[in-house]
Homo-oligomer: A and B are copies of this chain.
Amino acid sequence: MSVTIKDIARLANVSHTTVSRALNDSPLINEDTKLKIKAIAKQLKYTPNISAKSLVLHRSYNIGLFFSTLNTGTSAGFFYDVVRGVNGVIKDRYKLIVKGIDDYKEYGTVTKKSFDGIIVMSQSSDDNRFIRHAMDQQIPLVVLNREIKYGAVTNILSDDLRGARNIVKYLIDQGHRAIAIIEGKRGFQSAQDRKEGYLQALRHSSIPVKPEFEVIGNYDMESGYQAMHHLLVQPRLPSAVFCSNDEMAVGAIKAILEKGLKVPDDLSIVGFDDNIVSAFVTPALTTVRRPIEKVSREGASRLVDLIDNDEAPKEALYMNTELIIRQSVKKLDRGDSDIS
């Protein structure tokens, strides 16, 4: 079978303990023997048995990255950015395990023994059971994207409510009054926050909220397309639509163009996230940049700290969003804010 420290010990004429220490750079070991042992190890292509190490060190070298779900509601661009962000900081120090929370029926296998730490990209309060489980198991934990109010957790967030409020306010500033919303996936916190930002902006400008201007999507392109269709068959059209993410905006634009209308001439569209795609659709999308990769990176690096140091501070950290103005909004003169 594969080579172990005992094999090395035999060849080096030392005890396997000495080998263990040498390989771990213990200061207790004489430099010369260290060198000798390391040389033999390299020559034999020794690689430590991680299971054995784990067993005695209580460390698995695994970091779990859990999404609420890997299916509907998680867009490709989002997923990619998160994995890349996290992976970029843990490199080859840990193995990155990617899972959907909904892949599990029960969380028995999610233990401190199998995960040195866990990052949850949390979308919905359905995740609370899982998060509580991780806390109960005392697994170092970072929750991204959704505020956790119970217990002390490191929490990295973007202020979606404010971002949404800002972009809707921007629409209002451009003269829009009839502003519809395509909402995100039902049950997702982000969907709720963005909706609330939308509402606040309207209220702030004393624009009445019209139920017929609220349509629900689920964050994918198809749902944006459907939702826009829905809006387009109504007697009264909005002059602008706030899509709760960019992917839905892409779908919405498609629906509009098919109807023979133009963006932004007939209808203005804004999105949220600043997905890569948003710069490349036509017209380029005015949107809210949400620093997903930065959030993920920050989360990962906090988690690594947390693993090495139990008592690192656990706090909530907000990352700013940013309004990105491109070409999908038309400036309106007062008066033509409704088209019919």
Contacts and interface: CB of A to CB of B under 8 A. Distances in A.
A62 B108 contact: no
Copies of this polypeptide in the complex: 2
A19 B221 CA distance: 52
A25 to B, nearest CB: 16
B96 A97 contact: yes
Contacts of A112: 2
A221 B97 contact: no
Contacts of A251: 280
A70 B90 CA distance: 13
A267 interface: no
A47 B276 CA distance: 42
Contacts of A114: 50-51, 95
A55 interface: yes
A282 B109 CA distance: 46
Interface in A90-125: 91-92, 95-100, 103-105, 108-109, 111-114
Interface residues of A, number: 54
B100 A87 contact: yes
Interface string A275-300: 01101111000000000000000000
A250 B221 contact: no
Interface string A69-105: 0110010110111011001000110011111100111
A28 interface: no
B277 A221 contact: yes
Nearest to A57: B51
A103 B91 CA distance: 6
Contact of A92 (B92, B103, B225): B103
Nearest to A250: B280
Contacts of A282: 253-254, 257, 282
A114 B97 CA distance: 13
B83 A79 contact: yes
Given A80-B76, A97-B97, A98-B96, A109 B280 contact: no
12 contacts: A2-B112, A47-B109, A49-B113, A50-B111, A51-B52, A91-B103, A92-B99, A95-B99, A96-B98, A97-B98, A254-B280, A277-B277
